[in-house]
Amino acid sequence: MVTSRWTAAPAQAASSRRRGAVLERAILEAALEQLGTVGWNGLTMEGVAARAQTGKAAVYRRWPSKEDLVVDALRAGLPNQAEAPDLGGVREDLLELCRRVRAAMFSQTGLALRSVLHECDVNQAERFNRVILGGVVEPTMGLLREVIHRGIDRGEVRPDAANSYVFDAIPAMMMYRSKVCASEWSDRDLQEMIDQLMIPLLRGRGA
């Protein structure tokens, strides 16, 4: 693991060997590591530069502020939720999707994002909330829609269940318990949410 104790000579040598996207990736990864160790308030551009083994001028040329750097680091680090699970049934698909969301929430990037939201001020938080919407909530909602519409096509889900209230249920539950209650989601918790909330909601009474 890269440490933060670097002399000027190694930093300059490392910077001279890395250019463009390679150096940018090293800086973004360093920003995420710093968020995980010192938090938003402790993070500095100088500290990120030291972690990335480069000069701070290389950081400032690309990101004029700490906010700009952290936004890009979070966006680059969030997993790409490109495909909805297709395991043969709506229950299994929803459970797998919830596991993916949980993995993202408790990944290095997810933990960094949550620490930022807890420490930064209101104006900064609004900007980072947009990262959550664009990088986590909206992609998850798209996959939920795909899973539920597929369930409708299979006859597992009532047709009128494809509405915004149903689509909001899983993200709202997971974000509420994580952010407000500060509790994690075990596999048993996820299964109970799917079996006791989502399946009755999707199939209706008497299902």
**pLDDT 10s digits, 27-76:** 999 999 999 889 899 999 999 999 999 999 999 999 999 999 999 999 88
Q: Note every long-range contact of 14-22, with CB atoms under 8 Å and residues 24 or more positions apart, other chains counting.
A: 14/53, 14/54, 15/53, 15/54, 15/55, 15/58, 18/54
pLDDT value, residue 11: 46
| Element spanning 54, H or E | none
Residue that is last in its domain, among 27, 50, 74: 74
Q: Which residues contact 161 (CB under 8 A, 6 or more apart)?
A: 148, 152, 201, 202, 203, 204
- Residue 84 and residue 69 share a domain: no
- Residue 174 and residue 115 share a domain: yes
Nearest to 193 by CA among 175, 167, 174: 174
| Element spanning 106, H or E | none
pLDDT value, residue 18: 60
Residue 47 lies in a domain: yes
Structural domain for 16, as ranges: 8-74
123-146 average pLDDT score: 83
Contact (Cβ atoms closer than 8 angstroms) between residue 135 and residue 74? yes
Beta strands in 24-77 (DSSP E): none
pLDDT value, residue 6: 35
Residue 112, pLDDT above cutoff 90: no
pLDDT value, residue 52: 95
13-21 average pLDDT score: 61
**Residue 163 vs residue 107, higher pLDDT:** 163
Residue 191, pLDDT above cutoff 80: yes
pTM: 0.75
Q: How confident is the model at residue 85 (pLDDT cuts 50, 70, 90)?
A: very high
Residue 3 lies in a domain: no
Six token digits for residue 146 = 């795909």
